């Protein structure tokens, strides 16, 4: 099977699996991340085939929706690619990226070994900030049933995936626990530049949010 066919089959598989997800992991998230990742891959001379496969498969079985089980996603990616008789070297690489991607707390380092992994991680993180990031955070918060904001909740910089997974938060608190930290966690120069602008938008949004919350605007 040639690379174009593998990508096409994988796209159909992913679109079907993610259809109807209301928690910010819909197909359009994958589609946006793919556009960003293609751009970053070209700038960083990363292998576009590995990058694109990892993007397509990265959220099919997110650990947050499997009781915090981080093994389900990589395992499903591996099984899918093996079914298409993809080269073992590519399967290992894509599986490694899918397994290492997800944010698991401010104090939990998630280093990526290869440039392909760094590109996918940057693209996924860029889609968590800016205007899209704001929209996704509130979509996720609504799905979780958490309040939009609770001034009594202090942000926590979690030092384990378990603490991050089981913590109580509000969506605006999540900005301090994750979204505002992402700009400094970007791996590539291109992503860092895009992140600066998206980060500024988060700050504008928060300033306005708090002014309205306090009744001063």
Give 142-145 contacts, CB < 8 A, sequence gap 24+.
Answer: 143/22, 143/23, 143/24, 144/23
Classify each residue of 197-207 as buried b or exposed e, where b means 16 or more C-beta atoms within 10 Å of its C-beta. ebbeebeebbe
Tell me which of Ni ion, ligand ADP, none is bound by residue 136, counting a contact when its beta carbon lies within the kind-specific cut-off of 5 to 8 angstroms: ligand ADP
> Residue 59 interacts with Ni ion (CB under 5 A)?
yes
Q: How far is the CB of 94 from ligand ADP (least distance, A)?
A: 16
Interface map 181-210 toward Ni ion (x if CB under 5 A):
------------------------------
If the CB atoms of residues 44 and 122 are measured against ligand ADP, the closer one turns out to be 122
Task: List the single partner that 74 binds among ligand ADP, Ni ion, none, CB under 5 to 8 Å by kind.
Answer: none
Least CB distance from residue 4 to ligand ADP, whole Å?
26
Which residue, 86 or 194, has its beta carbon nearer to ligand ADP?
194
- The count of chain residues that interact with Ni ion, using the rule CB under 5 A, is 2
For ligand ADP, the binding residues (CB under 6 A) are: 24, 62, 64, 102-103, 124, 128, 133, 136-137, 140-141, 169, 171, 174, 178-179
- Asked if 44 interacts with Ni ion (CB under 5 A), we say no
State which residue, 78 or 178, has the beta carbon closest to ligand ADP: 178
How long, in residues, is the chain? 217
| Position of minimal CB gap to Ni ion | 124
**Cβ 131 to ligand ADP, closest distance in Å?**
12
In whole angstroms, how close is the CB of 146 to ligand ADP at the nearest point?
6
Q: How far apart are the first and last CA of the chain?
A: 59
Q: Which does 62 bind (CB under 5 to 8 A by kind): ligand ADP, Ni ion, none?
A: ligand ADP
**What CA–CA distance (Å, rounded) separates 17 from 71?**
17
**Which residues make up the interface to Ni ion (CB under 5 A)?**
59, 124
């Amino acid at each position: 099977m040639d690379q174009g066919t593998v990508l096409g089959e994988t796209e159909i598989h992913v679109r079907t699996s993610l259809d109807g997800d209301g928690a910010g992991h819909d197909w359009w998230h994958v589609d946006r991340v793919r556009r960003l990742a293609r751009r970053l891959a070209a700038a960083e001379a990363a292998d576009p085939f590995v990058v694109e496969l990892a993007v397509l498969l990265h959220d099919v079985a997110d650990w947050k929706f499997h009781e915090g089980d981080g093994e389900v996603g990589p395992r499903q990616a591996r099984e899918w690619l093996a079914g298409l008789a993809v080269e073992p070297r590519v399967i290992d690489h894509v599986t490694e990226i899918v397994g290492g991607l997800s944010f698991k707390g401010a104090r939990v380092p998630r280093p990526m070994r290869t440039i392909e992994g760094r590109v996918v991680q940057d693209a996924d993180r860029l889609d968590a900030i800016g205007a899209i990031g704001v929209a996704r955070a509130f979509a996720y918060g609504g799905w979780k049933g958490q309040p939009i904001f609770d001034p009594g909740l202090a942000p926590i910089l979690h030092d384990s995936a378990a603490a991050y997974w089981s913590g109580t938060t509000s969506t605006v608190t999540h900005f301090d626990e994750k979204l505002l930290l992402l700009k400094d966690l970007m791996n590539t120069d291109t992503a860092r530049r895009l992140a600066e602008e998206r980060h500024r938008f988060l700050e504008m949004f928060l300033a306005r949010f708090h002014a309205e919350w306090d009744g001063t605007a």
